[in-house]
Structure 1
Amino acid sequence: MDFLQLAGKRILIFGVANRKSVAYQSGKVLEEAGAEVIYVVRSEARRDSLAKLLKHAPIFICDVEHQQEIDQLAVDISQQYDTIHGLVHSIAFADYSAGWLPFHQTPRAAFLQAVDISCFSLTALSNAFSKLLDPEQGSVVTISISTTRMAAENYGYMAPVKAALDSSVCFLAKSFSNFSKVRFNAVCPGLLKTSASAGIPGYVDSYLFAEKATLRKEAVQTREVADTVAFLLSPRSSGINSQGIVIDAGMGTNYFDKEIVSEQT
């Protein structure tokens, strides 16, 4: 039974890094649901490293930091496919090479690059594929974070960048509503065990604390995030638009868990 009604749907996924990535897990869930998945990675080296992992799925190259590559990708995709039913934006980058710095010392170049790659790329890709996305049932899903209102020192300037991404989802949904029914939503997971997160200073300690703070005492799994991505791409979620769906296993309501509080006394 095709409950999600994704069989035969063509989905474009940006941002696969490895087996642990949200983009990869989303692709697997979609393939299991019968969707046709097309992957886009940022370099030839990344494509070569993922070729065996992604098996026979088509893999295109696009570094979203360069508009000309986005434009060329849209041309290449349109020459092979007449319609795209969904787009998954799982792209984020932050240059932490300067080490941990107080937020007010954030390097301008690093912040602007993070905004460009992690946030503006959603708008640039949506614009490039606006004529190819199914105007009746098209769905665009990006990956944000569970909250941008918690000032975690080690996450630094990426929280404001993700806040801009969340806002972009709303504005894109409104903008596209002028000529289509394409929906825009964000999946907002709590702390995940991914290779990307490993590059955040002090992440392991934050991850272990977050796991204790969940209602079930078990961290959010990447597969759970991928399941939500698939749902938001599905016609079954047709009434959900311009939203951020939080996947944090209840952490956001459990900061005063008695076990955590008792550890401090």
Structure 2
Amino acid sequence: MSFLKLENKTFLITGVANKKSVAYFSAKTLEENGADLIFTVQSADAKEKVEKFFPGKKVFILDVENEASITDLGRKLQDDKVTLHGFLHSIAFANYSEGMKPFHETKLADYLQASNISCFSLVAMSNAIKPVLAADASVVTISISSTRATNYGYMGPIKASLDATVAYLAKSFSADTKVRFNAVCSGPLKTSASAGIPGYIDNYLYAEQLTMRHEALETQEVANTVAFLMSPASSGVNASNMVVDAGMGANYFDEKVVEAYAKRT
């Protein structure tokens, strides 16, 4: 058996939108290490796509804005007598259709929708699948390395709420289980979802220069961290926000970046 001990364990995966997504890379890494997978997607088109990516795996359509849909997922898993050893929450949405605005101009409807989908869905789904979670299961959500980055707009505070939610879920579940909850807080990545954020590309290129190796963070590196946290090898890690940013957060005054800026002024 391998160090991660993922063989013959079953994991619920959300958020596989395409082959560039963190969820896709994480699912492939888990599968390559012997795990079985169950997926949720938001539409019939996405279901067809995931079935091609992962032939033979169960794929459920789930609307996280619909409480009944989430409850139904939990019921279906119970009916199938599934035991989940882990759950990857990789769901996020923000309405940037009007472009990036100053935070104080955020519309209440947009904020509430984004909060429901990107944060509260972790609570609702965890509650719905609790009966089928193994006693020592691991739940991992995908967050961001800096919730104060301006380019994320109102998603920054919502991701900060997600980070806090991880700890509260860990506390709540500890009353009668050993289920762990952790967040992987990723630095900027080259994904299709991030490309839709106004101004993201410039921030991505800037972040690449701030990593200590001056090379961009790879999605596979984030997926490796997810796999570790989902595995029994990380049994001592709980209620944590694990930053994966290639050292960017400790390197804001990188000499090369400072020198390049100084030459422009």
* Map 1:26-175 → 2, pairs under 5 A: 26-135=26-135, 137-148=136-147, 150-152=148-150, 154-175=151-172
Give how far 1:44 is off.
1.1
What is the CA deviation profile of residues 29-65 of structure 1, one whole-angstrom value per residue up to 9, with x for unaligned ones? 0001100011110111211233212222211110111
- TM-score using structure 1 length: 0.97
What is the CA deviation profile of residues 150-184 of structure 1, one whole-angstrom value per residue up to 9, with x for unaligned ones? 341x2100000000000000000000000100000
SS of alignment partner, residue 178 of structure 2:
coil
What is the CA deviation profile of residues 186-239 of structure 1, one whole-angstrom value per residue up to 9, with x for unaligned ones? 000100010110110011000000000000111111111111111011111001
Matching of residue 231 in structure 1 with residue 228 in structure 2: yes
* Amino acid of the structure 2 residue aligned with 1:145: I
RMSD of the TM alignment (CA)?
0.9
Matching of residue 189 in structure 1 with residue 186 in structure 2: yes
What is the CA deviation profile of residues 85-119 of structure 1, one whole-angstrom value per residue up to 9, with x for unaligned ones? 10000000000001121110011111100000000
Alignment partner, residue 212 of structure 1 = 209
SS of alignment partner, residue 215 of structure 1:
coil
- TM-score using structure 2 length: 0.97
Using the alignment, how far apart are the partners of 2:203 and 2:132 within structure 1?
41
Asked if the contact 2:163–2:183 (Cα under 8 Å) also holds between the matched residues in 1, the reply is yes
Using the alignment, how far apart are the partners of 1:184 and 1:101 within structure 2?
33
Q: Which runs of 4+ in 1 moved over 6 A?
A: none
Asked if the contact 2:78–2:131 (Cα under 8 Å) also holds between the matched residues in 1, the reply is no
Match 1:259 to one of 238, 241, 256: 256
SS of alignment partner, residue 144 of structure 1:
strand
Greater helix content: 2
Structure 2 portions without partners, runs of 5+: none
Using the alignment, how far apart are the partners of 1:5 and 1:131 within structure 2?
23
SS of alignment partner, residue 204 of structure 1:
helix
Structure 1 portions without partners, runs of 5+: none
Using the alignment, how far apart are the partners of 1:202 and 1:209 within structure 2?
11
Using the alignment, how far apart are the partners of 1:54 and 1:63 within structure 2?
21
Using the alignment, how far apart are the partners of 1:74 and 1:130 within structure 2?
8
> What is the number of residues matched between the two proteins?
262
SS of alignment partner, residue 37 of structure 1:
strand
Using the alignment, how far apart are the partners of 1:10 and 1:82 within structure 2?
8
Matching of residue 25 in structure 1 with residue 25 in structure 2: yes
What is the CA deviation profile of residues 107-155 of structure 1, one whole-angstrom value per residue up to 9, with x for unaligned ones? 11111000000000000001001111011x211000000121x341x21
Using the alignment, how far apart are the partners of 2:13 and 2:84 within structure 1?
11
Task: Name the % identity.
Answer: 56
